[in-house]
Structures are given as C-alpha cells and as structure tokens.
C-alpha cells in the first residue's frame, strides 16, 4: 500500500479550531524536551564538582538540588504536555467521528448498496482510534524524540565530535535492519486484522440469524466455521508475534552494542586522561537519549503510516459525494392545503447495477390533491422503486417528477421530504419510549398532539395497556410489539408529521382479523385531507382508491377505478383474482 504520512494532512481542517491548544502543547513539548537535555549536563557538574575530592559539602547538596530542580521541571512540563496532547487527541477524534457519521447518514441508497454498514462502523471505531493514537500520543512522542535526538546529537558534537561520528555510523547500521523488520511486522499485523475482521463477520451474520441456524440444527457446523476462521487469525497473529520478537531482540542487542561501544571508547579516554569522568557520564546519557530517540522515531513512523492509511480511508468516506445533484438555489413550492399535487412526466429509471433493465419505463401520470392512488402490479413491477424516486433516494435518468408545481430536483431535499411521510411494510421501531417513537418526524410536537395522533391511529388503547403507557420503552431492550401494533405506531408517527403526501406500503402478510380492522381504520384516518399513494395488497384498499395504477415491468399498463378495470378484464382483473387479500 503506497500510503505516505502526507495523507495525515487530511486532518488539518480538524486541527484548525484548536490552534491555541496546539500552541500550548508545542510549548510544553519543547520545555519538557529541553529539561531532559539539561539532565546529563547537570549530572556532569555533579560528578566533576560535587564528587571531586576536597569539594565542600554544600557543593554536593547544591548539585543534588539542581538535579531535583531539573526533575521537578520535567515532571511539571511532562504532565502539561500529556494533558494538552491527550485532550487534543480526544477532541479531534470526537470531531472526526461526528463528521464522518453525519456525512454517512446523508448518503443515498446507492452508497449503502456498495458499502457495508460493518465497514462504516469499523471506520468510525478502528480508523478513528488509529488517528487518535497518533494525534493523542505518537505524534507528540515523535516530536519530543526528534527534539531530544537532535539536541543530544548537537551536545555530542559539541562535547565529543569523534565519538559522535562513530555512534552515528553504528546507529545507521542498526536502523536499516529495524526499518525492514518493522515493515514486515506491520504487513503481518494488517493481515492479522483482516483475519480477525473475517471471523467477526461470520459471528455477526450467524448471531443475526440465530433462530434459522438453530432451526436447521447447524450450531455445530457454524461453530466449526468460526473455529476455522479463528485458527486462521491465530496463525497470522503468531507470524506477527515471531517477527516482532525478532525485532525487539535485535533492537535491544543493537542499541546495547552502540551504548557499550560508546562507554568503552569513553572509558579509554578517561584512562588516557583526555576526558573527565563527568564528561563520560554526560556522553553516555546523550548516547542513550539519541539511541532511544531513534528507536521511538521508528515506532512512531510505523504508527503514522497506519494512521495515514486510516486517515485516507476516513477522508475518502468524508468526501464521497452523494450522486444526487442538489440544486444550489432551491425553488420553494407553496405548502399545499388538502394534499399535494403530483405529476410524473415520462419517468425512466434503471438501477446503476442493472443498466440494461428499466425499473421504471416512460411512467407518466397525474395525481390531484386529496386523491388516493393504489399502485398494484406483480412483484418486481417497480412499485417500491417509484416510492424511492418520489423521496429522491434515486434520480430518474430521464423524465421529471413535479410535486406541488415544482420539479423535485429543483426543490430542497429537506423541503421535499418534509412534505411526505412513509409507512413502510415493516415499520421501524427505534429504541426509545412510545412517545419518542411517535414523535420521530416532529420531535417538538406537544404531548396533546402525540396523544391525538395515537388516538387517530387507533393505538391509544393498546398503548395505555403497556406497563408504563406512553413512557414504555420499546425496541431491542424494551417491550416487543405485535406486527399490527408496530404498524399503528408507524401510522401515528405519519399522522403526527401531518404531511400533504402520504406513502403507504401495505403489509403483504395478513394480520389477524381484529388487528387488520384496526390498521385499516387507522389508515383511513391517516389518508383524510391529504394525497395518498399506496402500494396495495388488499381488496378493501383498491376498492376504495380513486385511481388504480397497474404497473408491469416498470410500465403503467392500465389505470382506472376498481370497477372500471374489472370490467375491462385485462391485467388488473387477472391480478385481482389472484393477489388481493380479501379482508
């Protein structure tokens, strides 16, 4: 992967708001590095002056006080650096996470068809955590070690130029093999991460379908499949661990060699009288600083590469453009009273993945305010696609959809979707109370309005019987509702939103007679005073519709009332005979 640390520049916009904090962090960082560099120098004073025979006693205590002063300063500056840098890391990661999530939620269905939600989740968690490691620690560690390494190098040149040259030569000999080994470790750890992700993918698929798995008594097989994939993850982990063990051993061995070499040369110099013991101590310290700076920088470089990869993936996600063209100057349509008017003008659409099949083909039609249109047709006829186009989840390749006098691609997306509510076949109940669920489309609705909507959707009665009435917690960890009850909550949600256009996708599965009657009555109420498009599966619905549109293979084949179309004896008549639930 040709990732370079340059990709990290994608993070600049996220750093910008924190300029002051960045400045403070940099200051603490420099101060801490500076104090570390002062340490060996003070140590040399201690050895050469305080320890020298005949030095006054207060000389020694003075030297120790100096040392303590340096240590105290280092403590304060390091704490300050740690706090500001970690604070920055957390803040920036939180901002990044929110930005990516907010952006992903705005994507059109085409995006979600090509991107698995698991992948988005992994970017939101793993990739942002990698970025956090770099911003919140590695980067400052790198900078500190760069300053310290450079400082130690300068001090070495200043105090012992010849020795320094030798040390640098040996260091370079150490670095190349470490870099090579480090790369290998990184490659292996990437493979390992992929293998771990594979086994989580298996687990999540199986856990989501646990009842099917158990009904086919496939637990044993699934367990073995999981064990296999865990073993693959394990063996790739072992490869990484071996490479890492060699790397660690090599680094310790090589850096000790450098250190001992320096010590040996220094001791010779002290013995020859060309250098003092203090100078030797100082030099050894600087060499340690230099060597450890090199080691840390190697590590940091690895982290930065990984974070650069993560940043690239995040930026890619953050810069995916929704393929919908949003009009820069949206036209405002008047808010219709008594329902929207809707006109389809030769709408033609195919899915990006199926360019050779028109899902909707030259679809034209007009719906007047307040009308109820039942859309019927065999499975695959394009009914759902029509709804998706109305909500602008996709745009037609040709033709236009005009809502309340304005083409929908000229309307603001928010304005467009503000005008409609959908009651899907399988209503979604969010984790939250009954009230929160009904309020979903109008979070600021008053309690009276919520109750009125529940009343109109014939949901009042069963909600009152729930353990805590309207405050009952629903969703995964809460009370489970029956199919009919979920539908009535969804209808109440739509009624509360009070849009001029209602999109209904009737459930295909029949409810029991009692629930059926309630849901039907609720829908009747919901349709009052607005335009309704309903994907119909029930005889009662088509009989009451003002117009029926009969679709087949994306084309509008027939339209008219139930009686008219029955009399015609065409496609509708044959469909009606087979398809509708007579309830």
Q: Which residues bind ligand ADP (CB under 6 A)?
A: 113, 351, 353-354, 359, 377, 379-385
At 39, is the secondary structure helix, strand, or coil? helix
Least Å distance between CB 533 and ligand ADP? 13
Nearer to ligand ADP, 34 or 380 (CB): 380
User: Whats the size of the chain, residue-wise?
Assistant: 583
> How many Cβ atoms sit within 10 Å of the Cβ of residue 81?
24
Compute φ and ψ for 574, nearest 5 degrees.
-75, -35
Least Å distance between CB 123 and ligand ADP? 23
Angle at 111 between CA 318 and CA 92, to 5 degrees: 20
Distance in angstroms (rounded) separating the CA atoms of residues 34 and 268: 30
Least Å distance between CB 120 and ligand ADP? 18
Per the listing, tokens 């990869």 go with 309
Least Å distance between CB 298 and ligand ADP? 48
CA distances to 187, 301, 490 from 504, in Å: 52, 56, 10
Beta partners for 348?
Answer: 398
Least Å distance between CB 378 and ligand ADP? 7
Least Å distance between CB 391 and ligand ADP? 13
Least Å distance between CB 531 and ligand ADP? 20
- Sort strands 342-349 and 406-407 into parallel, antiparallel or unpaired: unpaired
Nearer to ligand ADP, 114 or 431 (CB): 114
Nearer to ligand ADP, 337 or 397 (CB): 397
Nearer to ligand ADP, 17 or 109 (CB): 109
Distance in angstroms (rounded) separating the CA atoms of residues 77 and 355: 63
The sign of the CA dihedral 200, 202, 203, 208 is positive
Least Å distance between CB 377 and ligand ADP? 6
Least Å distance between CB 487 and ligand ADP? 18
Least Å distance between CB 193 and ligand ADP? 30
Nearer to ligand ADP, 186 or 394 (CB): 394
Query: Residue 438's closest CA among 460, 468, 406?
Result: 460
Distance in angstroms (rounded) separating the CA atoms of residues 543 and 539: 6
Nearer to ligand ADP, 156 or 575 (CB): 575
Least Å distance between CB 381 and ligand ADP? 4
CA distances to 329, 524, 539, 546 from 583, in Å: 48, 14, 7, 19
The Cβ-side half-sphere exposure at 372, using a 13 Å CA radius, reads 21
Angle at 254 between CA 248 and CA 259, to 5 degrees: 125
CA distances to 32, 145, 186, 557 from 141, in Å: 11, 6, 19, 70
Phi-psi region at 335: left, alpha or beta (left = phi > 0; alpha = psi -120 to 50) = beta
Nearer to ligand ADP, 306 or 383 (CB): 383
Nearer to ligand ADP, 132 or 385 (CB): 385
Distance in angstroms (rounded) separating the CA atoms of residues 382 and 293: 65
- Beta strand spans in 472-579 (E): 473-474, 501-505, 531-535, 547-552, 555-560
Compute φ and ψ for 401, nearest 5 degrees.
-120, 125
Please give the DSSP secondary-structure letter assigned to residue 405.
Answer: T
Nearer to ligand ADP, 186 or 537 (CB): 537
Least Å distance between CB 537 and ligand ADP? 11
- Residues 333, 406 contacting (CB under 8 angstroms): yes
The 3-class SS string of 306-340 reads HHHHHHHHHHHHHCCCCCCCCCCCCCCCCCCCCCC
Nearer to ligand ADP, 394 or 486 (CB): 394
What burial letters (b/e) apply to 473-494, b meaning 16+ CB within 10 Å?
bbbeebeebebbbbbbbbbbbb
Nearer to ligand ADP, 384 or 581 (CB): 384
Beta partners for 347?
Answer: 363
Least Å distance between CB 352 and ligand ADP? 8
Nearer to ligand ADP, 100 or 374 (CB): 374
Nearer to ligand ADP, 505 or 516 (CB): 505
């Amino acid at each position: 992967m040709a990732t370079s640390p340059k990709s990290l520049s994608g993070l600049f916009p996220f750093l910008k708001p924190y300029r002051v904090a960045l400045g403070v962090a940099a200051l603490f960082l420099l101060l801490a590095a500076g104090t570390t560099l002062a340490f060996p120098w003070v140590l040399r004073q201690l050895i050469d002056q305080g320890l020298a025979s005949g030095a006054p006693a207060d000389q020694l205590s003075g030297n120790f006080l100096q040392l303590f002063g340096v240590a105290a300063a280092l403590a304060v500056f390091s704490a300050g650096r740690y706090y500001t840098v970690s604070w920055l890391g957390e803040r920036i990661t939180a901002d990044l996470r929110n930005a990516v999530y907010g952006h992903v939620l705005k994507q059109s269905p085409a995006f979600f068809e090509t991107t698995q939600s698991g992948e988005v989740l992994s970017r939101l968690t793993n990739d942002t955590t990698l970025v956090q490691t770099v911003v919140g620690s590695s980067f400052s560690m790198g900078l500190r070690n760069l300053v310290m390494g450079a400082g130690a190098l300068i001090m070495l040149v200043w105090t012992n130029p010849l020795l320094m040259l030798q040390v640098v030569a040996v260091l370079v000999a150490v670095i190349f093999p470490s870099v090579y080994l480090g790369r290998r470790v990184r490659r292996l750890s990437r493979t390992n991460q992929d293998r771990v992700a594979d086994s989580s993918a298996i687990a999540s698929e199986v856990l989501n379908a646990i009842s099917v798995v158990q009904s086919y008594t496939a637990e044993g097989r699934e367990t073995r499949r999981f064990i296999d994939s865990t073993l693959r993850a394990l063996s790739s982990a072992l490869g990484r661990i071996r490479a890492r063990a060699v790397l660690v051993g090599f680094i310790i061995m090589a850096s000790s060699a450098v250190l001992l070499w320096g010590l040996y040369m220094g001791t010779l110099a002290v013995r020859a009288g060309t250098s003092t013991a203090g100078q030797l101590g100082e030099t050894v310290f600087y060499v340690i600083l230099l060597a450890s700076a090199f080691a840390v920088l190697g590590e940091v470089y690895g982290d930065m590469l990984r974070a650069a990869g993560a940043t690239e993936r995040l930026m890619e996600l953050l810069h995916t453009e929704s393929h919908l063209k949003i009009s820069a100057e949206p036209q405002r349509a008047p808010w219709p009273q008594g329902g929207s008017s809707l006109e389809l003008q030769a709408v033609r659409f195919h899915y990006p993945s199926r360019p050779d099949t028109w899902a909707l083909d030259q679809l034209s039609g007009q719906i007047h305010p307040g009308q109820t249109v039942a859309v019927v047709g065999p499975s695959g006829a394009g009914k759902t696609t029509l709804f998706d186009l109305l909500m602008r989840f996709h745009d037609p390749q040709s033709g236009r959809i005009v809502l309340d006098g304005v083409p929908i691609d000229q309307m603001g997306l928010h304005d467009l979707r503000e005008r409609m509510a959908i009651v899907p076949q399988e209503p979604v109940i969010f984790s939250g109370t009954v009230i929160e669920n009904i309020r979903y489309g109008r979070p600021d609705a008053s309690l009276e309005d919520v109750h009125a909507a529940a009343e109109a959707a014939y949901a009042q009665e069963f909600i009152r019987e729930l353990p805590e009435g309207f405050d009952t917690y629903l969703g995964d960890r809460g009370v489970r509702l029956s199919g009919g009850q979920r539908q009535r909550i969804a209808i109440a949600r739509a009624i509360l939103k009070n849009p001029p256009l209602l999109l209904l996708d009737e459930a295909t599965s029949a409810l029991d007679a009692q629930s059926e009657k309630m849901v039907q009555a609720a829908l009747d109420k919901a349709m009052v005073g607005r335009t309704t498009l309903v994907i119909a599966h029930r005889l009662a619905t088509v009989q009451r519709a003002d117009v029926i549109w009969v679709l087949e293979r994306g084309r509008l084949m027939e339209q008219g009332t139930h009686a008219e179309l029955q009399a015609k004896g065409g496609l509708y008549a044959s469909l009606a005979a087979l398809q509708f639930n007579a309830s």
